[in-house]
Amino acid sequence: MNYLFAPQTANYESSAVRDILKVTQQGHVISFAGGLPAEDIFPLDAVKNAYEKVFASGKSSLQYGLTEGFIPLREAIQSRMQQKGISSTPDNIMLTTGSQQVIDLFSRIMLAPGDVVLTEDPTYLSALQVFRSHGAHVIAVNSDDEGMDPEDLKAKMELYNPKFVYVIPTFSNPDGKLWSKDRRDALLQLSEEHNVLILEDDPYGDIQFHPEDKIEPIAALDSDQSHVLYTSTFSKSVVPALRTGWVTGPIEVIQMMAKAKQMNDLHSSSIDQQALYYLLRDFDLNGHINRIRTVYYHRMTIMRDYLAKLGTDLFTFNEPKGGMFMWVKGNEQLDTTKLLHQAVEKGVAFVPGAPFYVQEPKLNTFRLNFSHSAPEKIELGMDRLVEVLLNPAELI
Ligand SMILES: Cc1ncc(COP(=O)(O)O)c(C=O)c1O
């Protein structure tokens, strides 16, 4: 049978990272490749209790729900976002199937083939896949350790007239970067001047290792609340299997996204949303988030200490202040895609950096996930990795 797929499917890419993960899923391999949260601290009992409360609440809990999602959960999210300085009402919060769905729904309502999206470089691979699937041209803005370079951003806004700017300013995937306040302000100001929306993707903001440092989401700085579409998720703070995220922003945008969502799936699972409501009501989520911070910080320091011992002549990295990832750069000649094969043979895996780049891939970079593996496994995996990193010569 000759399947006559629609022309836009020519833009569908399979995730290079998923393909890499297949290679790493051999039993003996310790994988720092996937972006997985720590299973050993999943709040299983709290999740179980929450679902029991849903079922105990009667048959109406099993009925169809609103496209925008279960109102009591939207109210609970409103109050949690208020604590981060983001003002919203339940009307301009929509619950989604993870943040991933926000990226797709927003792209559906904004992008026509040929439109431009500005991003960081490197950035979240699955967002790139979505933008390109809608026929968009993704253009990278020059960035440094503090965030996007305002001059380059301004020039590219003027040159390309982009539909939106996509950013992960707080503990980014893949490079763990935390934007400075100045760069957040600069992006917002340019977005106001050039009438360009910002999609702020914030799945990792809660996993802050030094909570005494004040980090304001860009959405919290947007005084007239008309320039930023903000998305976050319960995938990292509770569990990813709930597949529950949310979006807040200008009401016109949320309403248009709700129309797109209605066509897409009517609404996300309302059982999961109700369970999350009970969980937020009865479980100490902030206490749990503190536990995640402590556990991840410890795991990160183990990895950091191994990398620090390698010396900066060979490898450089920035210590992340939160999130789940470390980003490592080797010398210019190193090709980490080739190095991965050697690493897998030794029983350890990472993700080569190349697929996260928009324009010119830096082949000498790679991403390490520190959240998923227990400390003993991190030590064993890092012993293996260091051996490979110190002997990459034959692969260059
Ligand atoms: C930057 C970023 N955005 C969005 C997502 C999607 O998260 P979810 O759909 O589980 O909420 C992820 C997942 O890893 C991510 O790293």
Can you give the CATH number for the domain in which 12 is found?
3.90.1150.10
40 pLDDT higher than 80: yes
Question: 64 alpha carbon to ligand 1 midpoint, in Å?
Answer: 26
Residues 290-312 pLDDT 10s: 999 999 999 999 999 999 988 77
* pLDDT given at position 17: 66
Q: Are residues 254 and 301 in the same domain?
A: no
Q: Can you tell me the distance from the alpha carbon of 260 to that of 248, in angstroms, rounded to the nearest whole number?
A: 15
Ligand 1 neighbourhood includes 245 CB (under 6 angstroms): yes
* pLDDT given at position 16: 65
What average pLDDT does range 275-301 have in this prediction? 98
105, 170, 173: which to mutate for ligand 1, most atoms within 8 A of CB? Answer: 173
Q: Can you tell me the distance from the alpha carbon of 141 to that of 119, in angstroms, rounded to the nearest whole number?
A: 6
Residues 356 and 123: beta-carbon distance below 8 Å? yes
Residues 130-165 pLDDT 10s: 999 999 999 999 999 999 999 999 999 999 999 999
* pLDDT given at position 393: 62
Question: 166 alpha carbon to ligand 1 midpoint, in Å?
Answer: 13
22 pLDDT higher than 80: no
Residue 142 lies in a domain: yes
At residue 59 the predicted structure's pLDDT band, cuts being 50, 70 and 90, is very high
DSSP3 helix / strand / coil % (the chain, rounded to 5): 50, 15, 35
Ligand 1 neighbourhood includes 233 CB (under 6 angstroms): yes
* pLDDT given at position 8: 87
| The last residue of a domain, from among 257, 282, 307 | 282
Residue 2 lies in a domain: no
Ligand 1 neighbourhood includes 35 CB (under 6 angstroms): yes
Portion of the chain with pLDDT greater than 70, in percent: 96
Q: Are residues 20 and 66 in the same domain?
A: no
Ligand 1 neighbourhood includes 203 CB (under 6 angstroms): yes
Ligand 1 neighbourhood includes 100 CB (under 6 angstroms): yes
Q: Are residues 145 and 184 in the same domain?
A: yes
Question: 69 alpha carbon to ligand 1 midpoint, in Å?
Answer: 19
* pLDDT given at position 224: 87
Question: 239 alpha carbon to ligand 1 midpoint, in Å?
Answer: 12
* pLDDT given at position 91: 96
Question: 262 alpha carbon to ligand 1 midpoint, in Å?
Answer: 21
Question: 87 alpha carbon to ligand 1 midpoint, in Å?
Answer: 22
Ligand 1 neighbourhood includes 274 CB (under 6 angstroms): no
| The last residue of a domain, from among 215, 249, 282 | 282
Residues 90-134 pLDDT 10s: 999 999 999 999 999 999 999 999 999 999 999 999 999 999 999
94, 233, 369: which to mutate for ligand 1, most atoms within 8 A of CB? Answer: 233
Say which residues have a Cβ less than 8 Å from residue 113's Cβ, sequence separation at least 6: 8, 134, 135, 136
Q: Are residues 265 and 191 in the same domain?
A: yes
Ligand 1 neighbourhood includes 246 CB (under 6 angstroms): no
Minimum-distance ligand 1 atom for the alpha carbon of 172 = 1
Q: Are residues 16 and 92 in the same domain?
A: no
Residue 133 lies in a domain: yes
Residue 1 lies in a domain: no
395 pLDDT higher than 60: no
Ligand 1 neighbourhood includes 173 CB (under 6 angstroms): yes
Q: Are residues 347 and 388 in the same domain?
A: yes
Q: Are residues 320 and 191 in the same domain?
A: no
Ligand 1 neighbourhood includes 232 CB (under 6 angstroms): no
* pLDDT given at position 394: 54
Residues 340-361 pLDDT 10s: 989 999 999 999 999 999 989 9
Q: Are residues 371 and 262 in the same domain?
A: no
Q: Are residues 349 and 329 in the same domain?
A: yes
Q: Are residues 197 and 331 in the same domain?
A: no
Question: 201 alpha carbon to ligand 1 midpoint, in Å?
Answer: 8
Give the count of domains, the chain: 2
pTM of the model: 0.96
The CA–CA distances, whole Å, from 100 to 28, 171, 231 equal: 31, 17, 9
* pLDDT given at position 311: 78
At residue 13 the predicted structure's pLDDT band, cuts being 50, 70 and 90, is confident
Residue 384 lies in a domain: yes
Question: 103 alpha carbon to ligand 1 midpoint, in Å?
Answer: 9
Portion of the chain with pLDDT greater than 90, in percent: 87
Residue 189 lies in a domain: yes
102, 126, 166: which to mutate for ligand 1, most atoms within 8 A of CB? Answer: 126
Whole-number average pLDDT of the chain: 94
Residues 369 and 33: beta-carbon distance below 8 Å? yes
**What are the tokens at 4?**
């006559």
Residue 13 lies in a domain: yes
Q: Are residues 237 and 123 in the same domain?
A: yes
Say which residues have a Cβ less than 8 Å from residue 320's Cβ, sequence separation at least 6: 171, 176, 178, 209, 300, 326
Ligand 1 neighbourhood includes 176 CB (under 6 angstroms): no
User: Computed from CA positions of residues 157, 160, 161, 163, in that sequence, does the dihedral angle turn out positive or negative?
Assistant: negative
Q: Are residues 122 and 255 in the same domain?
A: yes
State the residue range of the domain holding 260.
45-282
Q: Whose Cα sits closest to atom 14 in ligand 1?
A: 35
| The last residue of a domain, from among 251, 282, 313 | 282
Residue 323 lies in a domain: yes
Ligand 1 neighbourhood includes 99 CB (under 6 angstroms): yes
Ligand 1 neighbourhood includes 98 CB (under 6 angstroms): yes
Residues 67-94 pLDDT 10s: 999 999 999 999 999 999 999 999 999 9
CATH number at residue 153: 3.40.640.10
Closest CA to 365 of 319, 316, 329: 329
Residues 210-263 pLDDT 10s: 989 999 999 999 988 899 999 999 999 999 999 999 999 999 999 999 999 999
More confident residue, 27 or 132: 132
